[in-house]
Amino acid sequence: MRQINTPKNLITTFMAVLCITIYSAALVYGAIRIAGSFQDRRNLMEIELRDLEDLASSAGVLGFMDEPFIQTIEDAVLSSKTMEALIISGPNGEYAFERRQGTVINWVNDSPRFKSSFILKTSDLRPLRIEGQRNVNIQALFGLIDYDFLLSSMKQTLLAVLGGLVLAFLTLLFSSLSGASAVPAVRGENKVDTSQPRQEGAPSLREGSPSRRDGDAETDGLIDFESLVGTETRGGTGKAGVKTPPPEETEEEPADQAAEESFKEDYEEKTPQGLYSARGIGWEEYTRDRLAAELHRCASFEQDLVYIMMEFRNDNSLDEDFFRQFAGVAVEFYNLRDLIFELGEWGISIIYPNIDLDQGFVKSEEFHNRILTRFAGAFRSNNDLCIGISSRAGRLIDAERLIFEAREAMRRAMDDPVTHIVAFKSDPEKYRNFIASQSKQLP
């Protein structure tokens, strides 16, 4: 059905574009501010490092590495906006100082080293020119993040995003309220005014005229019963000479309509709609086609495939809630939701590609144990859940044959009071000989 650009739709579209623009602008603004902050910090780091070189050179003239020199260096680090720590090395040893003790410096064999796992930090090594001293270097560690500025920028960005979210919520609320109040009026546009009789010769819907004229406002697809049959033909004869039911017979129409709706609901409930059923796994009707497709794919890539069927031996105590939990455990264990299907009323089947029969048997045993552990109180014995397995095993086999083999294996597991898993193990060589003999018998 074609959608009409009503004023409400235009407003909703405009507000959606506005909200997206606000989100984008807020994020771009925040990113630009943070990137600019990094560059400003780099410039400030360069200035502070040059000032520290001059200060250390001046203090070193009066006494290198003595108490006044060290106090001057520590004061410079504490007053810096970007410096986290520094290491000064000279002919008589090394000296290290950090703003927060034990955070960025490691001591290795009495030698200080900056820790290597830093995020958004940088270090720089510069030589110091101090009279009377040789091989004197200073290495400083700087932080690229201005946490106060970063917090302020994030607050501004989040406030803008929050404003956009509030605007979007109010728009959706307005759209929902206006849509709910407009539904009765829209449906009423399709009704026919029965107070005026139809003029002789005017075409009716029974004579093949269109259900609405070109240019009429489109509705939600519902056609009222009154506008379909025409109230003027009830109890009489239409222009085409078709006799309509008398008024007293039309009283049965609500019952017929209720029966039709009940039939439609039952049909829709049993008919596959969508990829998964209400139980959270695939419809049983899709099993054969999907198995055929997987067999073709595995044959093309020379891969094996295992098909597993499982049902409960005693299903009198089962219900929908239990089965949904059971199917959920199967999806969680096999991690193949699109290859797990319903089987009968209380069973499931699993298509497991790229594994052989032995691996499939082991996985089935693990799943069986997990089910018994998860639902210990729901089973009377360990053999209540029966599993049948078959595999492609290098054969060019069709889906019907593989389903038949797995079903026979599961039936034998059902009949055996001790065994709960039965695998159909084929002989590829015998199978090829059988196919060859069948081909020779064909005319």
3-state secondary structure 74-105: HHHHHHCCCEEEEEEEECCEEEEEECCCCCCE
pLDDT at residue 249, as a whole number: 46
- Is there a single domain that holds both residue 292 and residue 428? yes
- Is there a single domain that holds both residue 298 and residue 428? yes
More confident position, 290 or 208? 290
Is 192:226 a contact under the CB 8 Å cutoff? yes
- Is there a single domain that holds both residue 173 and residue 307? no
- Predicted confidence band of residue 188 (pLDDT cuts 50, 70, 90): very low
Is 85:139 a contact under the CB 8 Å cutoff? no
Find the range with the poorest average confidence among 62-71, 73-82, 205-214, 331-340. 205-214
- Is there a single domain that holds both residue 155 and residue 298? no
- Is there a single domain that holds both residue 181 and residue 294? no
- Quote the number of domains for the chain: 2
- Predicted confidence band of residue 132 (pLDDT cuts 50, 70, 90): low
In a domain, 203, yes or no: no
pLDDT of 32 > 80? The answer is yes
What mean pLDDT is predicted for residues 310-333? 89
pLDDT of 27 > 70? The answer is yes
Percentage above 90 pLDDT, the chain? 24
More confident position, 86 or 229? 86
**DSSP, res 208:** T
In a domain, 150, yes or no: yes
Find the range with the poorest average confidence among 63-77, 217-231, 301-315. 217-231
In a domain, 179, yes or no: yes
Half-sphere exposure of 347 (CA within 13 A, CB side): 22
Asked which of 138, 163, 192 is the last residue of a domain, the reply is 192
pLDDT at residue 353, as a whole number: 95
pLDDT of 49 > 70? The answer is yes
- Is there a single domain that holds both residue 137 and residue 10? yes
Closest CA to 207 of 245, 233, 235, 236: 233
pLDDT at residue 118, as a whole number: 58
Percentage above 70 pLDDT, the chain? 72
More confident position, 415 or 433? 415
Asked which of 134, 166, 192 is the last residue of a domain, the reply is 192
In a domain, 241, yes or no: no
More confident position, 60 or 416? 416
Q: What's the chain's average pLDDT? A: 75
What mean pLDDT is predicted for residues 14-43? 83
**How many helices (H) and strands (E) in the chain?**
10, 11
pLDDT at residue 34, as a whole number: 81
Q: Which two tokens stand for residue 304?
A: 């094996």
Domain of residue 432, residue span: 284-441
- Is there a single domain that holds both residue 310 and residue 169? no
What mean pLDDT is predicted for residues 78-99? 78
Q: Give the CATH number of the domain where residue 369 resides.
A: 3.30.70.270
Rg (CA), the chain: 40
- Predicted confidence band of residue 128 (pLDDT cuts 50, 70, 90): confident
In a domain, 158, yes or no: yes
Asked which of 173, 192, 211 is the last residue of a domain, the reply is 192
pLDDT of 295 > 70? The answer is yes
| pLDDT tens-digit map of 370-409 | 999 998 888 878 888 999 999 998 888 999 999 999 999 9
What mean pLDDT is predicted for residues 125-134? 70
pLDDT at residue 317, as a whole number: 73
More confident position, 211 or 270? 270
What mean pLDDT is predicted for residues 114-143? 71
What mean pLDDT is predicted for residues 354-365? 94
pLDDT at residue 207, as a whole number: 38
Could you give the 3-state DSSP secondary structure of residue 349? strand
In a domain, 146, yes or no: yes
- Is there a single domain that holds both residue 163 and residue 288? no
What is the rounded distance in angstroms from the CA atom of residue 277 to the CA atom of residue 324? 11
pLDDT of 422 > 60? The answer is yes
Report how far Cα 193 is from the mean position of its chain's Cα atoms.
50
Half-sphere exposure of 340 (CA within 13 A, CB side): 20
Strand partners, 113: 106
More confident position, 99 or 21? 21
pLDDT of 273 > 60? The answer is yes
What is the rounded distance in angstroms from the CA atom of residue 221 to the CA atom of residue 190? 10
Closest CA to 64 of 117, 134, 118, 115: 134
Is 288:349 a contact under the CB 8 Å cutoff? no
In a domain, 346, yes or no: yes
- Is there a single domain that holds both residue 433 and residue 296? yes
More confident position, 171 or 397? 397
Helix pair 287-300, 399-415: axis angle to 10 deg: 110
In a domain, 253, yes or no: no
More confident position, 70 or 280? 280
Closest CA to 164 of 60, 27, 291, 274: 27
pLDDT of 210 > 50? The answer is no
| pLDDT tens-digit map of 138-164 | 878 877 777 777 788 888 888 888 888
